């Protein structure tokens, strides 16, 4: 059982929900990424998504696009990100998932990526542009390793497609709450509760909701519906605001701790 499954098993026993936070690797620096990751754990985060910056992030809104652009400009590479995770692992056992587009991984080599990622302490990966029908190469590569690909379901996913996604997602199912790109939204979409229930009728795997969540009230509401809440652009925006401050990690911790309280006390 890898770290992700252990974490969700413990949360279920404790009748708690997961808080998952996304940060862009190398924004504003890889050293900052390490410090922020450790602060996120101290602030009540259960799982960290580390985004691999890419020049054409089709699923990301303006906030993450800008962070990715700045990270790439500073020389961030997939190799450096894996070393960053390896450094985090010296101090933490929090589950870590990489969120990447396929291009950087294909360039690196699929088998090599899965092997090296697992060796460095990465627990899994999310690819917005990888459908489960095309995932056999990754699934073969991850056999015998504590590593798994997590697939995304969306508001437009049919029942048959949800079954396919549930079959291939070993650790949890990532439900995209909206049709469109990432980015903070002022209100939640009314279909979320209905669609999460539909997934849960198909699978007993944890369902976590992401995209568009920016307020504590939204996180509190969603934690009553889903098994986990994913915060991304809202956190990256705060990183951008304090990126030149020495107390960057602490500021992120303060911001995220409010979401942690909202999710855990729902």
Q: Give me the active site residues, please.
A: 49, 60
Q: Would you tell me the crossing angle of helices 192-202 and 159-168 to the nearest 10 degrees?
A: 60
Q: Is the distance from CB of 135 to CB of 15 less than 8 angstroms?
A: no
| Residues 6+ positions from 58 with CB-CB distance below 8 Å | 101, 128, 129, 181
d(CA 211, CA 177): 6
Q: Is the distance from CB of 88 to CB of 123 less than 8 angstroms?
A: no
> CA-based angle 126:234:217, to the nearest 5?
105
């Amino acid at each position: 059982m890898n770290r992700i499954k252990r974490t969700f098993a413990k949360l279920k026993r404790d009748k708690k929900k997961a808080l998952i936070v996304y940060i862009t690797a190398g924004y504003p620096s890889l050293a900052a990424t390490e410090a922020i990751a450790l602060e996120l754990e101290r602030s009540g985060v259960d799982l960290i998504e580390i985004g691999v910056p890419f020049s054409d992030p089709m699923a990301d809104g303006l906030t993450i696009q800008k962070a990715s652009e700045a990270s790439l400009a500073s020389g961030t590479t997939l190799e450096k990100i894996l070393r960053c995770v390896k450094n985090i692992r010296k101090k933490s056992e929090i589950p870590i998932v990489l969120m990447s587009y396929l291009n950087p991984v294909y360039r690196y080599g699929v088998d090599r990526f899965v092997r090296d990622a697992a060796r460095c302490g990465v627990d899994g990966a999310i690819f917005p542009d990888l459908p489960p029908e095309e995932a056999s190469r990754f699934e073969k590569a991850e056999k015998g390793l504590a590593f798994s690909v997590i697939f995304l379901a969306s508001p437009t996913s049919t029942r048959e497609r949800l079954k396919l996604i549930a079959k291939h997602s070993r650790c949890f199912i990532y439900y995209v709450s909206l049709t469109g790109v990432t980015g903070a939204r002022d209100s939640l979409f009314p279909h979320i509760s209905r669609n999460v229930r539909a997934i849960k009728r198909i699978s007993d795997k944890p369902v976590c909701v992401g995209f568009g969540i920016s307020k504590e009230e939204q996180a509190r509401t969603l934690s009553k519906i889903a098994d986990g809440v994913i915060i991304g652009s809202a956190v990256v925006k705060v990183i951008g605001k304090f990126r030149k401050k020495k107390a960057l990690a602490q500021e992120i911790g303060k911001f995220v701790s409010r979401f942690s309280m909202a999710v855990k006390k729902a």
